Amino acid sequence: MKWRGICLLVLLFMWTATVEAQTPFYQGKTITIIAAAKAGDVYDLYPRLVAEFMPKHIPGNPNVIIQNVAGAAGLIGTNQVYSVAKPDGLTLGAIYPALYFEQLAKRPEVKFDWTKFNWIGSTVSSNSLMYMRSDTPYKTIEDVRTATTPPKCGATGVTSTAFYMPKLL
């Protein structure tokens, strides 16, 4: 009985096709990370930090380069990742997370569909904080939401969460 099992196992190994090692997909290739920010901006520094360590953790040790495509608060670079880059796994986008609001607002400059991006990860998590002076008539968030004249809020730009969050409230 024992020999029958061993013979069956030997026949099984002889019957299966040989498996040859494949060359890693990324070997000899270059991954381009499109940073939708100007050089030196914090959203340029994050992908540069990640790019330093990526080749060590990807089979084939590909080259990794950063291409800055600044302008329109990240819209130009994001549109390029979506419309121009080939979906071959060799182009990544480092884009502003608040840009999904641009699509929700139906801005004509948006040429991407946020739902068709594949999210790999994030180098940062941001929290939003809203505050106002104590001498205003608004004491609770419900006071802000039900106000006949909404309070004025400051923001760094129309593509930031600091602009959209008060609008959403």
Q: From the centroid of its chain, how far is CA 123? A: 9
pLDDT digit string, tens, across residues 1-58? 677 767 666 666 666 555 566 789 999 999 999 999 999 988 899 999 999 999 999 9
DSSP per-residue string spanning 65-78: EEEE---GGGHHHH
Total Cβ atoms within 10 A of residue 127: 5
DSSP per-residue string spanning 5-45: HHHHHHHHHHHSPP-PPPPPTTTT-EEEEEESS-TTSHHHH
Nearest to 164, CA basis, from 110, 78, 100: 100
- Global pTM exceeds 0.75: no
pLDDT digit string, tens, across residues 68-102? 999 988 899 999 999 999 989 999 999 887 788 88
Which pLDDT score, from 0 to 100, does residue 8 have?
Answer: 64
